[in-house]
Structure 1
């Protein structure tokens, strides 16, 4: 499954804006000429990468702990090497994707290492997982920095939950850099710990901002939880508030149906149905 958020909406949306309306479309073109498409696409790629990184760290942790119990690696591909070092109080896990490129479940090519560390007592209700990135690339985009994940065995709804603090820098193939800060929470509402990634369902909340070296800032806030089902390549519901350099609006992913449609509403209240 492709794991990005904005790839499901923004890339397709900006493609429509740049290429123009299909002759069979019945919805009028909105006055969106002020969109800064280049930075928007870069932001979409960052969001895509952070979703891949979220999957790898979250499931890397769950794989490691299930390995200790059952010997069954559920998620990480065979091309990823896992090394474990134990201390008296902590567990250090290195996930090495190598330097030649390792294809993960989402179809992305990953290189480099994720270095995780957490306390040995994983049965605690709340567990903090720290990790750093070493020479880490998703496709041709470099990610550097650190992250903290707070894992709750059960939140107030009785579901596993992962709260992630974001603080890293990305470097694109042409040398363009941007920083990302913010937070995101994933509530694992279906399929938790059953060994089958395909029936997992998550609700995603949070907000983050991306700062470019030219001073431009792009921000995203999830105003209605995004529902992500592993059985569907698209987000099936939820609303994101978007603020970019030259425009703002909201993207609505629908009523829960697994389809390739969403509705973008700009600041003037004009709506446009888009194909994802």
Structure 2
């Protein structure tokens, strides 16, 4: 197994400047824009936790320290369903400058490549660089065409508490399909995924609500830290516009364009 590439959140997510580490306009630092940044950070960590689940359930040795994910992994059951406990400890475990604490409880109903299989991730006293995360992720295989594996990714009862104590409740469901690496089902590094449809909802403790909907298919390479292509439509509060992730380059840049046509070049 190889390390999960997760270093891109080290600076920005830790500092929680959210919408960007740099911006071309003070307008991009409005109060409401922090919800965009929170949503992008939540989505990124959700995907990282799914990657952890995939690594653990496709070959991590039970009862041993899983150095590839900087945690101790134990497994219950020799047959399916199997329950994996990924324990980062109360003091935390550091990998690529990312400190995780707490546990991930991962339940796999049957091999993830089987249609109908479900990978469920529950967070137990879990934090990521001091950001506390709660809720459940369900990653269900909905494949109908064997050459195009497909999953639904559902987040329920999500709760994100940042370093300032701000709380963001979140939920959503997306359709994800695999477009590369299908011929090597237990090798993750050559996989490319597309998020073809779905909606993510965010609610702040002050009641501000934001909805992010896939407008143009999002492309995510397993080997890249960032979404490299696609568009998200944003609606809520003072915000109405589109996030554009670019032309499939592996970088941390994206553009937010509001409905009046004003664009901001931003970085994670």
TM-score normalised by the shorter chain: which range applies? 0.7 to 0.9
Partner of 1:129: 119
Structure 1 or 2: larger strand share? 2
Residues 122 and 275 of structure 1, relative CA distance in 2, 3 Å threshold: closer
When Rg is computed on C-alpha atoms for both structures, the one with the higher figure is 1
Q: Could you tell me which of 190, 195, 203 is aligned with 1:199? A: 190
Pairing 1:48–2:44 present:
yes
Match of 1:176 among 155, 166, 177: 166
Give distance in 2, aligned partners of 1:132 and 1:226: 25
Other-structure match for 2:239:
247
Alpha-carbon contact 1:3-1:52 (below 8 Å) kept: no
> 1:216, CA displacement in angstroms?
0.6
Aligned residues: 254
Deviations 1:11-68 (A, max 9, x none): 46573155x6xxxxxxxxxx7686624444433432332232232223333344xx69
The match for 1:26 is none
Return the offset for 1:96. Answer: 1.4
Deviation of 1:88 after TM superposition, in Å, equals 6.7
RMSD in angstroms over aligned alpha carbons?
Answer: 3.4
Equivalent residue runs for 1:81-100 within 5 Å: 81-86=72-77, 90-100=81-91
Could you say what secondary structure the match of 2:260 adopts? coil
Partner of 1:25: none
Distance 1:132 1:62, change over 3 A: same
Correspondence 1:160 to 2:156: no
- Sort the Cα spacing of 1:244 and 1:82 in 2 relative to 1 into closer, same or farther, 3 A: same
Match of 1:112 in 2: 102
TM-score normalized with structure 2 length: 0.77
1:146 and 2:136 matched: yes
Between the aligned partners of 2:220 and 2:185, the Cα distance in structure 1 is: 17
Tell me which residue corresponds to 2:22.
15
| Shift, 1:90, TM fit | 2.3
Asked whether the equivalents of residues 160 and 188 of structure 1 are also in contact (C-alpha less than 8 Å), the reply is: yes
Q: Look up the SS of the partner of 1:209 in the other structure.
A: strand
What 5-or-longer segments of structure 2 have no aligned partner? none
Q: CA deviation at 1:81?
A: 1.4
